[in-house]
Structure 1
Amino acid sequence: MDIGLLENLDLTRNEAKVYVRLLDESPAPLSFLLEKTDVSRRGIYDVIESLSKKGLISVVQKDGKKCYAASNPKRLYEIVREKEHFLDAIMPDLLKRHGSFKEKQGAMVYTGKSGIKTVFDMMIDEGKDIFVIGGQDLVYDLLKDYFHRYKNKRISKGLTLNILFRHDTHYDVQVNQENANIRFLPKEFRSPISTVTFGDKTTINIWVDPMSILIKSQKVADGFVEYFRMLWDISSERGRK
């Protein structure tokens, strides 16, 4: 299996190596782990201590030797739930602190795929209709399966997507028809930049080396919505066939 997946559950790469090896063969002595995992002798003790604290391995005796055994993988569910309980406890304070920022106008920059996902999640949380100028294939290629989950959330919350695709977009707009008003910009509109407006927020987006600049200003948002409506009137219902 791809041990990198376990790193998403707050295990280090060495912890993931040792745990997966013990799932395959438990109980096992220290010498076996050193041989099969390529973890250094100095590092293996830290890994064993950490996995023990997380409840993912235990110490057993086999033929009079100290060995280590993997705990049931369902323990990983418990670890995630424990983190959720901790997050629930501190969330009110985090939201209060974030609220003090939301009252102000300002701009923030989000980068990378994770940053773009954060912006898309923000669109859902805002709960307002969405206006896109310059929709293009790159965003769907970038977000892949996430985009479909986002689309389902948008539809379930009753949010309307108003989108002006670039004329050369190949994306199958049929997938995105529900709760959506779609047109295609004139051929002359070839900007690699797209904008998204929702509520009092507007993002300026670049999908190659992804970056999204978020501007919080009702005046700016109103201006982009007005610009959207002007472009809507000169756009067509069909793009590239």
Structure 2
Amino acid sequence: MNLGTLEQLGLDQKEIKLYLALLKLGTASIRDIAAEADINRGTTYETLKGLAGKGIVSYFPKGKRRVFCAEPPEKLLDLAEEKKQSLEQSIEEMKQKLIPQLNQLKPDFNAGNVRFYEGDSGIEFVLKDILNTVAKQDDKNYSIFSSKPIRQHLYRPFPNYTQQRIRKGINVRVIAIGEGGEDAELSERKWIKATGNIDASYIAIYPPKVAMISLASTDYPVAVVIDSQEIASTQQIIFDTLWGSL
């Protein structure tokens, strides 16, 4: 029997043991319940009172003693429904009030607005952040500058990036520096001619963030993500102006 679901309803191990003991015993005294569950009587009594408050145990007097019985297991569904409604209300409260209020406590800009990542795992995190951030936006668009030397390293840790982007309905415009690169679904690409050696670089503009990826050594990628609406907006203006001229 998988009892993990009962823990998700907020029942601890003692409460679960006592509820199961009561189901087996039917109506029983604290002494008998404690013996069946192998829990001391004092803890048993306090825990049973808690279960009664949750509506899954009831009690009534029998002579000078108090006896307890378990409510039908279907009552657990009522408890689950209460938890669900409470959680939905909490989520809505967080969206409408708490999160905006907490964001007001943050300074406009601090060191936390700039984050550094390195290696394949770091680049994978940045690429996932791009998808997750853009997927929440209404227009689902972002823009990138990309050069040929970075491409073989960029998607190495996340080979199905493009497929996930398309699956999420995200559009991308690419300004490629130098030759190379292929068009894909939900993407547009323009090129800037470049001669000589081209440095490995990738800049993603996905307001309110900008991600910049380059190579620290031959094949070791590093990234900087700036979380700033002002910087992202400025970079977007530069991109849009250049895009219109190509």
- Per the normalisation by structure 1, the TM-score is 0.45
Q: TM-score w.r.t. structure 2 length? A: 0.45
- Could you say which structure has the larger radius of gyration? 2
